[in-house]
Structure 1
Amino acid sequence: MSTATPAQPAASFRLPTDVRPKHYDLTIRTDLENENFEGVVKADVEIVRATDTIVFNAAPNLKLGSASLTSSGNVLRPAETTYDAPTERATFKFGEQLQAGTKVTLRVPFSSVLDGSMAGYYRAKGKAGTYALTQFEPTSARRAVPSWDEPALKATYAVTLISKAGLVNLSNMPAIPNATSEPTDQEDAELYAGVKSGDWTVTKYETTPPMSSYLLAWAVGPFAYLEDSYKSPLSGKVRPLRIYAPPDLIHQAEFALKVKKAALPLYEQVFDVEYPLPKLDTLVAEDFDAGAMENWGLITGRTSAFLLDPKAADMMAKKRVATVQSHEVAHMWFGNITTMEWWDYLYLNEGFATLMGEVIIPDKIFPEWKVDSEFITEHLNDALRLDAKLSSHPIEVNCPDANKINQIFDSLSYAKAGSVLRMLSKYVGEDKFLKGVSIYLKKHLYANSVSRDLWDGVSEATGLDIPKLMDFWITKMGYPVITVMETKDGIRVRQDRFLEDGPAKPEDNETIWTVPLFLLAGSADGKSLIDKSAVLNVREKEFKIDTSKPFKLNAGTSGVYRVLYTPERLANIAQEAAKGEAIFSLNDRIGLVHDAMALAKAGFLKTSASLNLVDIWKNEKAFLVWDSIAENLSRVIDTWWENDHAVELLNKFRRNLFGPLVKRLGYTYPEGEDVDTTQLRTRAIESAAAAKDPEVIKELQHRFAQYVKTKDDSWIPADLLRITYRVAVEYGGREEYETVIGFHDEPKTPSMRTAAIRALGATQDPALIQQTLDFTMTKARDQDVIYFFSGLASNFKARRTALDFFEKKYDALYKRFEGNFTLKYLISTLLSGLSTKEDLHHVQEYFKDKDTAKYDQALAQGIDSIKAKVSWIERSTDDISEWLENWEKSAKL
């Protein structure tokens, strides 16, 4: 259905192995006024096998100058030079053979423009002016410097930056004090023009440890910084920690600096490996494609990832800053010291950083946040939702084509990998798991690794056959649904692959996973025990258990699978769980909500049964359970969005659930309040407003009007910023819309800008919908375009208009975003709301003639989502309507 370029063999994109870089001496001169840069790289190269050819990476944007090669004192010039744009490779052929075992130095001058692509070495702009920074992961180092741009080809780097006087220069390593500002090679003298007169300055940096090219980083601009330090618990060394940002934003970086200071010593203790560099900086940028990037010694990221108002930050912003900063610090070990051998093993970086950086370490810093429980909704369920598609991919994914690497930066490499590692940690015990991780790291310091290396480390720490347990979780796509059938002596359980649109066909149901069942059984004293020895490694198996007492599989929602009970048993579990924490934990209840709705969508359970479970829990106290309920109900409405009768009944159901919570909790956020109550209030108000609760909408409109009139921030607490702006625009007119435009243009915080962007998509006025769409092409920062489309896609009146606009502007949007992550996110966002056969046909027809190579995975997943919604609507409309009508009568609404 697509004209995507066929996948090429690995040899087409992987560099030859007959030469290997060992060290780069790199000089870059940056001209921010004219938005360009030039430089020289001198690469010390080892000749592994005799050859007369050197092949390296250089993207088409780089203009290469006259190259030379020094070998045993002789200077050679390329006899023949060729470039291949699709594979981004340059080939120098020399007139004589380079002998194996010798070392040569390749010198290549180069230059390019500083564009706004957010890839390679690019420019960003803010109130403080223009500045420039790098973003190299996965394959954009070659856009900034001729290099061997593959993770296994580690080398050391000595960087020199030349910039206009008065600017701040940054790189991975500390600057060398009092270093010479003279060129060490007269061939480089041109780069140093103006240095003696004081118009330009030179900053030389210490040499890095061996590292992969995608971790190299530098930046030039008018930056300010905050500084602190931490003391290593392993060596006692004190290392400086800084956060840099444009001067007008630096006051908002204090919290991120505190998190970094708290996290670093914890990582050292957990891994028993000291952070190896002399400093760790973070640079905050106003134009940034990803959330953040773990460059060794110089973390970079967007404003919303690192900045917040120190006096009035909402919980969502605090959690984002804390987890992003901790996630990137985790990479200093996972990815930077020990690096995956190739992008097939991306999960060894991202899965670990997700688990360590967003659960294990934050839990030690902020135990009140209950991050392990939040992980179930934020990561585990997100991964299970994506992995329930036929268009999924294994965690360890074959990725020979460099054009497709961006596509595997998804919920499977991050969230599913993190979930599988969390399952392993829960199964063997966190202490033994972390001991195994430490063994793995120590055996591969400054080296590259594959999956087996990690499993060997955990096996050594536990004495268990970890490869046997973990292999299929990593190498096979999908996951099982565990069906529980009760027998006279206990239970019989069966595993089959779970798919979101119904039972798997035999050809899609061949994998037999080794499944830790985490079997929870109630005892006579009313307490519960968890049997971790219960493992299902065949299709079906029986287990003895007293089914007259409460029981449950996947205790603590620790495993990466769904569990299907009979409707009677599910109701029994729900009733028992409604009593509180006695038997079923917070994690159990969160998982039960997600499982029930996913199983209903796939047709294993009536959707009415999942709604019934929610109704049973209407007196639930925990925020994270309510959070999972709110998310799942919104997904039901988002599927039946064109069925007015179903939507109105579902909204009545939501108002009945969340309205009482709003009345009880109110709209103010007392100082010193516990985190759970704060978040529950926010979620209740957001859900009631989404359900069109008239009292809540009126209150939020009033608060917005008073804020606009008085400029008094107390009218809109930080946690209510998003929903208040959205309600104001949705139920207002042009006046409210233009006011929110102003908040976008002059935000006090990154959260305020993001809230404004999403709110603009909520307008019900067709003219303003079009204005928002036009804004994405004329005024929106590239990094923010996805937020605009996300806001529009969640608006029932705008989602098809947004898709039509994308199709009309396809060529311009493709050219604008083909080199970064935004393109695939636009595809998945715009397709996520579609739910009819007509939509399916339209999407397939529109994209059939497009070259989809850079986003074919997101497209296939979007198409699968539409198919699953079509099936769910056909299967469950009568069931939902009947249950809701009966509920409405019994509730006497």
Structure 2
Amino acid sequence: MVNFSCPTRTLWNRCSNRVYSEYRPIDGAAGSHLSVWPQKRFSSFGLRHAFGLRSSAVTTHLPGSFRNRIPLNRFCSLTTTTIMSNLKEVKREDHRLPLDVKPTHYDITIKTDLEKLIFEGSVKIDLEILKETSTIVFNSSGLNLRDIVVHSEALKTEQKISAESHDSVSERTTVQFPVALNSGSKAQLRANFDAPLTGSMMGYYYSTWEQDGKKSYYTLTQFESTAARRAFPCWDEPLLKATYTIHMVSRANTVNLSNMPVTSEEKINNGDWKITHFEKTPLVSSYLIAFANGVFDFLEDSYTSAISGKTKPLRIYATADHIHQAKYALDVKKKVLPLYEKMFEIEYPLPKLDTLIANDFDAGAMENWGLITGRTSVFCLDPQKFSVAVQKRVATVQSHEVAHMWFGNITTMAWWDNLLPGFATLMGEVMGRLYPEWKVYSEFITEHLNQALALDAKLSSHPIEVECPDANQINQIFDSLSYSKAGSVLRMLLAFVGEERFLKGVSIYLKKHLYANSVTKNLWDGIGEATKLDVATMMENWVSKMGFPVLTVTEANDGIRVRQDRFLETGPAKEQDNQTLWHVPLTLVQTGPDGKAKQDNSILMKEREVSIKLDTSKPFKLNADTTGVYRVLYSPDRLAKIAAEAAKGDSVFSLGDRIGLVHDSFALSTAGFAKVSDALVLVEALRGEKEYLVWQGIREKVSQLASIWSEDKNTHQLLNAFRRYLYGPLVEQLGFEYHDKDSADTKQLRTLALQGASVAGEQSVITEFKKRFQAYLDTGDDSSIPPDLERSIYICVNTNGGRTEYDAMKKIYAKPRTPSSKTAAIAGMCWARDPALIEETLKFIFDGAREQDIFYFMSGLSQNLVSRRRLAHWTKENYDEIYKRFSGNTQLSRIISSSFDHLTAEKDAQDVEEFFKVKDISKYDLGLKQTLDTIRANSSIIQRSTGDLVNWLESWRERSKL
């Protein structure tokens, strides 16, 4: 899944994640059998899975059966006595389904009525009885269950269930019957059900679009992570794979879609309705099942398998208003499928692969096996007029979801504490092979690595593999750590062992777990087999511990000494937070005898400190090409020398090196390891840089400073002057016109420079943007607004305009030419400065915005320096309505964070804490903690660095005569 955007940092996390999981289930069971754990080590995954330990677990003792298997003194040696004393015995069934029975096959019929907005269905679930039981527990949520019957093959009886109990908190239904089912026997559970169709964007829900001026409805599913239970009763856990046969009943003029191809379709009820039958699936987890019903158009193509030579159909479906923008996503899918087959040496196994573009969608996109779904903004591209940014977004999202066909679908995590999302993130970068001019491998540093490090630098971070026993926590972990840190750690491993051996290991891993579930150790075993290295030991702390190291470089006569400590955004870590030692690939680049770059990938740092011999009179840099998941701290003198070398046209430092230098220098300076002025010295040295990706990092980091000091008028004005100084030469050189012959890099650099200059108050750019927008208002012709500048122009004219510009944004939002035009119009509305227009936007959030767009509005308002404090107050005022509307999907945590994380004072943090003290924060507790960390980090930066920043900027202004 792709998200646009965690369970809490609990006592249990802090102890259980200190050791590596040796978990392996017996006969497909989910780990409740303690006897499968080796005595030499306990399993963090197995323990959590067996006992369902929760973040609130805070009392006295461990289960006696566990103490009998593992000596208590051995356990305490891995954690601390204090943490041990705070664990209590909790039962697995608190959050997880019991393991008495296991589903093997579902036969599901769904009837959809788009006029009454209801659905009803029936299900037959074949079961294996693993343990004698007279109770069956399964997941259901929001369904009216009826006519429940259990048929036992062993007893040849059929038990009609006269009563059942339902727990709405755990979303489990329990049925009991008087005669027990024997262990080893088979049974079948049958039930009918119905429920209303809602616009919740989770489970089986409706989406809307306009057809001939009339609102029309269609339906689709979004089941990850625990919403299949909202569409049919099921065992809704990824480990419990089964096969599925889907039948859909619908009105005759609609199209039915599901994971597998249609086997037959027939008219019923005098031809007004029809029933569509689909092929049986392979073994698959419930969250990957998908179906949809509506009036859809489609485009069709095919690809030829690189493994078998078979030709398989590919389709992309959309409503009539979007189908003309769907071809590019279809083309990308066709190109990447054979690439993945070659990389993994495994054929895509299903007979077809469809994509459905949805007008209303909670996440970005979802990798349902055989039926990918996602937002219009990630799959639509107008072939006549599009920006590089939109093209890249569509390509990378489609590629990411196709990668999941292997990582997640063929091989699925046993539970949600796994790094398979990160694998899809890394493998999604296959687009670099199709579009080398995009420099995707280097862009990964800004798009993923730096985002992950920014989040992981907080005390409220969490490990990649993290305790998430219940749905509230599962939905929170789809963040930059689950996707971007996991992908970055894998990228670091790939760089260390080499791509060929890495991919061979991945292929070994996938082949050993076809149609099965796995834990992370299985992946390390596969790569270890291919590389002959102890990959599991090397990677353990990267996955099971939160945080990452900062490497401090001290120079000596014969080389350098390197020390690793945990990096925190608040400064040097205290002893209790600095216990982890990572296995760090140091990847050193230095100048060789021929004057060219010489790279050494052989150094694996395992200790707190290491010494490396090298000639420090020549340029050198650790973390070559920025493939490592760490920061590097040099002395100011060495950083200045590295900056001077990086600024050369023939520098020994690569594009990736230069991108990493920018991000490292700002992260270290804002955390207090260095001065903010040191980072600005680097930026000034790089002012002649030609690469867009380096400038992307510069723009992001200098803008961050302007945001932090937004309420300090003098400092903010100095930063704006410095930004105009940075972008001025680029604006003059690149101008306003986009040409077909321009490279992608040139187009993106032009967009960056013009956008940055306009936000910083460059009048020549503002005047040109206003002129182009006025031409559009006068004629209705938007040809003077290039797609690459659409968002920048809308923001600029609303920042410097009023009612006329604002009303134009509302019209564009209501009837956008493309999905990107719609999000650009949202940004324009949100950047208005007139208090009355800000209030109008806040009212529009509930009265006029589509549910899926509300996060865009709140994010935009938080970036507007004039509206961000009003947004924080508005969120408090409307909290109950926000919680009611969004507690059922994944947007709530992001909405809460975006409302407050631009605040900059300790008093702000205290006010936020006080407000949420009496709220149920279980669905967004980690996001709230991270937000509070961000506010306090902003406050600390202001207190620590204002003097240094102002002194440097005033000195720069004097030197520059500005």
CA distance in 1, matches of 2:235, 2:454: 37
CA distance in 1, matches of 2:551, 2:569: 14
Q: Answer whether contact 2:539 2:583 (CA < 8 A) is retained.
A: yes
Whether 1:391 aligns to 2:439 is: no
Whether 1:295 aligns to 2:368 is: yes
Q: Answer whether contact 2:105 2:243 (CA < 8 A) is retained.
A: yes
Counterpart of 2:636? Answer: 567
CA distance in 1, matches of 2:101, 2:322: 45
Counterpart of 2:451? Answer: 382
CA distance in 2, matches of 1:431, 1:10: 42
CA distance in 1, matches of 2:951, 2:266: 80
Deviations 1:830-861 (A, max 9, x none): 12211001211111111111110000000000
Counterpart of 2:298? Answer: 225
Counterpart of 2:539? Answer: 470
Whether 1:6 aligns to 2:56 is: yes
Counterpart of 1:64? Answer: 145
Deviations 1:119-178 (A, max 9, x none): 00000000131000000000000001000000000000000000011001000000003x
Deviations 1:264-294 (A, max 9, x none): 0000000000000000000000000000000
Q: Answer whether contact 1:388 1:479 (CA < 8 A) is retained.
A: yes
Counterpart of 2:395? Answer: 322
Whether 1:449 aligns to 2:536 is: no
Deviations 1:663-720 (A, max 9, x none): 1101111012111101000000011011110111111011100112122232000000
Q: Which moved more, 1:707-716 or 1:412-421?
A: 707-716
Counterpart of 1:114? Answer: 197
Whether 1:101 aligns to 2:151 is: no
Q: Answer whether contact 1:79 1:93 (CA < 8 A) is retained.
A: no
The letter of the residue matching 2:125 is A
Q: Answer whether contact 2:795 2:831 (CA < 8 A) is retained.
A: yes
Counterpart of 1:241? Answer: 314
The letter of the residue matching 1:687 is G
Whether 1:82 aligns to 2:165 is: yes
Q: Answer whether contact 2:317 2:357 (CA < 8 A) is retained.
A: yes
Shift of 1:888: 0.1
CA distance in 2, matches of 1:259, 1:353: 16
Distance 1:829 1:566, change over 3 A: same
User: Among 904, 908, 912, which residue is 1:843 paired with?
Assistant: 912
SS in 1 for 2:884: helix
SS in 2 for 1:318: helix
CA distance in 2, matches of 1:545, 1:353: 38
CA distance in 2, matches of 1:13, 1:723: 47
Shift of 1:525: 1.9
SS in 1 for 2:206: strand
The letter of the residue matching 2:365 is A
Shift of 1:9: 5.7
Counterpart of 2:125? Answer: 43
User: Among 7, 11, 16, which residue is 2:98 paired with?
Assistant: 16
User: Among 307, 329, 334, which residue is 2:407 paired with?
Assistant: 334
Q: Flag as ranges the 4+ runs of structure 1 deviating above 6 A.
A: 1-5
CA distance in 2, matches of 1:429, 1:306: 33
Counterpart of 1:887? Answer: 956
The letter of the residue matching 1:74 is T
Shift of 1:79: 5.2
Deviations 1:808-842 (A, max 9, x none): 11111101000111101111211221100121111
Counterpart of 2:240? Answer: 153
CA distance in 2, matches of 1:874, 1:52: 65
The letter of the residue matching 1:66 is D
The letter of the residue matching 2:431 is P
Counterpart of 2:864? Answer: 795
Whether 1:595 aligns to 2:643 is: no
Deviations 1:416-439 (A, max 9, x none): 000000000000001110110000
Counterpart of 1:184? Answer: none
SS in 1 for 2:721: helix
User: Among 565, 586, 591, which residue is 1:522 paired with?
Assistant: 591
Whether 1:405 aligns to 2:479 is: no
Counterpart of 1:757? Answer: 826
CA distance in 1, matches of 2:807, 2:650: 48
User: Among 676, 686, 706, which residue is 1:617 paired with?
Assistant: 686
Counterpart of 2:435? Answer: 366
User: Among 556, 564, 573, which residue is 1:487 paired with?
Assistant: 556
Shift of 1:529: 1.3
Deviations 1:632-667 (A, max 9, x none): 000011111111111101110000110221111011
CA distance in 2, matches of 1:598, 1:148: 45
CA distance in 1, matches of 2:906, 2:204: 44
Distance 1:196 1:401, change over 3 A: closer
Distance 1:222 1:690, change over 3 A: same
CA distance in 2, matches of 1:130, 1:480: 51
Counterpart of 1:309? Answer: 382
Q: Answer whether contact 2:266 2:274 (CA < 8 A) is retained.
A: no
Deviations 1:411-460 (A, max 9, x none): 00000000000000000001110110000000000000001000000001
Q: Structure 1: 5+ residue runs without aligned partners? A: 182-194
Distance 1:63 1:581, change over 3 A: farther
CA distance in 2, matches of 1:5, 1:602: 29
SS in 1 for 2:935: helix
Whether 1:138 aligns to 2:220 is: no
Q: Answer whether contact 2:92 2:98 (CA < 8 A) is retained.
A: no
Cα RMSD of the aligned pairs, angstroms, is 1.3
CA distance in 1, matches of 2:289, 2:905: 47
Counterpart of 1:860? Answer: 929
Q: Answer whether contact 2:559 2:616 (CA < 8 A) is retained.
A: yes
Distance 1:595 1:390, change over 3 A: same
The letter of the residue matching 2:234 is S
Counterpart of 1:175? Answer: 262
Q: Which moved more, 1:72-81 or 1:299-308?
A: 72-81
Q: Answer whether contact 1:2 1:849 (CA < 8 A) is retained.
A: no
1:760-771 map, 5 Å: 760-771=829-840
The letter of the residue matching 1:658 is Y
CA distance in 2, matches of 1:641, 1:132: 44
Whether 1:544 aligns to 2:631 is: no
Q: Answer whether contact 1:5 1:851 (CA < 8 A) is retained.
A: no
Shift of 1:580: 2.6
The TM-score with structure 1 as length reference comes to 0.97
CA distance in 2, matches of 1:421, 1:548: 33
The letter of the residue matching 1:416 is K
Shift of 1:246: 0.3
CA distance in 2, matches of 1:450, 1:678: 43
Query: How many positions carry a matched residue from both structures?
Result: 874
Whether 1:822 aligns to 2:895 is: no
Shift of 1:80: 4.2
The letter of the residue matching 1:69 is V
Whether 1:30 aligns to 2:112 is: yes
Deviations 1:475-508 (A, max 9, x none): 0000000000001110000000000011000000
SS in 1 for 2:360: coil
Q: Structure 2: 5+ residue runs without aligned partners? A: 1-7, 11-53, 58-89
CA distance in 2, matches of 1:43, 1:644: 66
Shift of 1:404: 1.0
The letter of the residue matching 1:329 is V
Q: Answer whether contact 2:341 2:347 (CA < 8 A) is retained.
A: yes
The letter of the residue matching 1:34 is K
The letter of the residue matching 1:43 is I
Deviations 1:313-343 (A, max 9, x none): 1011111100000000000000000000001
Q: Answer whether contact 2:109 2:249 (CA < 8 A) is retained.
A: yes
Counterpart of 2:24? Answer: none
SS in 1 for 2:217: strand
